[in-house]
Amino acid sequence: MVRALARVNLAAIERNCARLRRELRDGAELAAVVKADGCGHGAVPTARAALAGRATWLAVATAAEAAELRAAGLDAPVLVMGALSDEELPVALRARADVVAWDERFAARAAELAAAREGPAVAVHVKLDTGMGRLGTRDPAQARRVADAVARAGELRLAGAMTHFATADEPGADDGFFEAQLERFATFAETLRSEHPGLLVHAANSAATLRSAAAHFDLVRCGVATYGLDPFHQDPAARELEPALELRSYVAALKPSARGESAGYGRRFVAERDTVLGVLPIGYGDGWRRGLSNNAEVLVGGARVPLVGTISMDNLTVDLGPAPSAGVGEPAVLIGAAGQERITAEEVARRLHTINYEITCGLTARVPRAYHRDGEPA
Ligand SMILES: *Cc1c(COP(=O)(O)O)cnc(C)c1O
């Protein structure tokens, strides 16, 4: 028993990848997006599980994340999707990662670095911003100029063309914006592919992958869905996704509280009846956010009990009721299932007015990750 533990089921990640692959149009491949430490699940173990689930690519946001995968001995193709500074680009290239370009200066810099070292040509994917309004160029002519510059440079290889959707997770509520982005990108990619055969065309994140086969092209880039989190913020079970992560703690102390006695900073909980509180040694220092104070439920002994009072950095309290069956040492589940009950990251996210991604990403390094396969040692 440890104070706070994230248990990650690698078999669930494997099955989620297999489930996503079943969705893909013929010939399309799956890139598992393992950025931000696999959204809190641990980048390397989840990357391995995703590859076992027949993902063929890995994608990350940063050069350091690519280097971490290589240092662990993973040799699948890795795409660094994020912006790379002059300092970061060499790190990405040393990791043999594919990189993304949208201006000629970056392409020239990559060519310069590639020329200065031995090895195969650096693979570059050109990014068109079709409506996300973030990285990439909004101008298809500019994107084509970058592609031509990459194709001309002997040290570079034009490997792909990509875009990213802004509203894939809002079907029926985005006024056709998703379809408009898709249309703009398809036109661009078709032209580019006619000039540069063999180009890998990719656009879809998890939501787009589940929303539209027309968005699959040659490769989809799935993050959240591989972890069994629902990209549409609903119950993952409805789309046959299996949450891989469970967050656990335990009842470290019982605190009988008479009517009128309070618990925690600021006395934000005052017992309205005689009751017994359970103290769980987990808090916002573990990523169990303070916004959940008086605003969450926890599974203790297979039943939902209310989290009461202010969450501290290292502890929180739950109200076990006047005659609790749970004693000291009773396991507590903050995310996951126990008995007939289940608390999803989506439920926690809703309480915090945020999205599931932020809940698992926010679990801090203080929480050990324990890996298993359906309960068996991984
Ligand atoms: C994070 C990211 C993804 C994966 O998104 P999910 O919603 O987690 O599937 C795909 N593409 C890009 C460019 C990203 O930044």
Residue 240 lies in a domain: no
The mean per-residue pLDDT over the stretch 17-22 comes to 98
Task: Choose the final residue of a domain: 207, 235, 263.
Answer: 235
pLDDT band of 118, cuts 50, 70, 90:
confident
Rounded to the nearest angstrom, the distance between the alpha carbon of 87 and the centre of ligand 1 is: 24
Rounded to the nearest angstrom, the distance between the alpha carbon of 315 and the centre of ligand 1 is: 33
The residue with tokens 């298993």 is 372
Mean residue pLDDT of the chain comes to 97
Task: Choose the final residue of a domain: 176, 202, 235.
Answer: 235
Looking at the structure, tell me whether residues 97 and 22 fall in a common domain: yes
Q: Is residue 206 in contact with ligand 1, taking CB distance under 6 Å?
A: yes
For atom 1 of ligand 1, which residue has the closest CA? 223
Looking at the structure, tell me whether residues 231 and 104 fall in a common domain: yes
Q: Of the candidates 39, 18, 35, which has an alpha carbon nearest to the alpha carbon of residue 229?
A: 39
Residue 131 lies in a domain: yes
Task: Choose the final residue of a domain: 185, 216, 235.
Answer: 235
Q: Which atom of ligand 1 is nearest to the CA of 226?
A: 9
Residue 366 lies in a domain: no
Residue 284 lies in a domain: yes
Respond yes or no: is residue 127 known to be catalytic: no
C-alpha 268/C-alpha 104 separation (Å) is: 57
Query: What CATH number has the domain bearing residue 284?
Result: 2.40.37.10
Looking at the structure, tell me whether residues 249 and 230 fall in a common domain: no
Looking at the structure, tell me whether residues 191 and 77 fall in a common domain: yes
For ligand 1, pick from 23, 33, 57 the residue to mutate: most ligand atoms within 8 Å of CB.
33
Looking at the structure, tell me whether residues 229 and 250 fall in a common domain: no
Specify the pLDDT at position 58: 99
Query: What CATH number has the domain bearing residue 187?
Result: 3.20.20.10
Respond yes or no: is residue 35 known to be catalytic: yes
Is 90 exceeded by the pLDDT of residue 242?
yes
For ligand 1, pick from 126, 164, 232 the residue to mutate: most ligand atoms within 8 Å of CB.
164
Residue 136 lies in a domain: yes
Residue 187 lies in a domain: yes
pLDDT tens, position by position, 296-355: 999 999 999 999 999 999 999 999 999 999 999 999 999 999 999 999 999 999 999 999
Q: Is residue 344 in contact with ligand 1, taking CB distance under 6 Å?
A: no
Looking at the structure, tell me whether residues 289 and 224 fall in a common domain: no
Rounded to the nearest angstrom, the distance between the alpha carbon of 287 and the centre of ligand 1 is: 22
Q: Which atom of ligand 1 is nearest to the CA of 205?
A: 9
Looking at the structure, tell me whether residues 305 and 157 fall in a common domain: no
Rounded to the nearest angstrom, the distance between the alpha carbon of 231 and the centre of ligand 1 is: 10
Looking at the structure, tell me whether residues 81 and 186 fall in a common domain: yes
pLDDT tens, position by position, 174-187: 999 999 999 999 99
Instruction: Tell me how crowded residue 87 is: count the other CB atoms within 10 A of its CB.
Output: 8
Q: Which atom of ligand 1 is nearest to the CA of 168?
A: 7
Specify the pLDDT at position 25: 97
**From the centroid of its chain, how far is CA 322?**
40
pLDDT tens, position by position, 81-108: 999 999 999 999 999 999 999 999 999 9
Looking at the structure, tell me whether residues 144 and 180 fall in a common domain: yes
Catalytic hit among 127, 250, 255, 265 = 265
Q: Which atom of ligand 1 is nearest to the CA of 81?
A: 13
Residue 121 lies in a domain: yes
Name the domain count of the chain: 2
Looking at the structure, tell me whether residues 137 and 185 fall in a common domain: yes
Q: Look up the domain containing 175 and give its range.
A: 10-235
C-alpha 316/C-alpha 285 separation (Å) is: 11
Looking at the DSSP bridge assignments, the partners of residue 316 are 280
Is the C-alpha dihedral spanning 61, 118, 152, 158 positive or negative?
A: negative
Rounded to the nearest angstrom, the distance between the alpha carbon of 79 and the centre of ligand 1 is: 12
Q: Is residue 49 in contact with ligand 1, taking CB distance under 6 Å?
A: no
Q: Provide long-range contacts, Cβ within 8 A and 24+ apart, for 111-115.
A: 111/153, 111/154, 111/155, 111/156, 113/89, 114/153, 114/155, 114/156, 115/155
Q: Is residue 125 in contact with ligand 1, taking CB distance under 6 Å?
A: no
> Angle, to 10 degrees, between the axis of helix 10-23 and the axis of helix 43-52?
50
Q: Is residue 164 in contact with ligand 1, taking CB distance under 6 Å?
A: yes
pLDDT band of 75, cuts 50, 70, 90:
very high
Residue 86 lies in a domain: yes
Is 90 exceeded by the pLDDT of residue 292?
yes
C-alpha 235/C-alpha 228 separation (Å) is: 10
Looking at the structure, tell me whether residues 252 and 335 fall in a common domain: yes
pLDDT tens, position by position, 247-290: 999 999 999 999 999 999 999 999 999 999 999 999 999 999 99
Specify the pLDDT at position 119: 87
Looking at the structure, tell me whether residues 192 and 173 fall in a common domain: yes
Q: Which atom of ligand 1 is nearest to the CA of 224?
A: 8
For ligand 1, pick from 16, 165, 167, 205 the residue to mutate: most ligand atoms within 8 Å of CB.
205
Q: Which atom of ligand 1 is nearest to the CA of 35?
A: 1
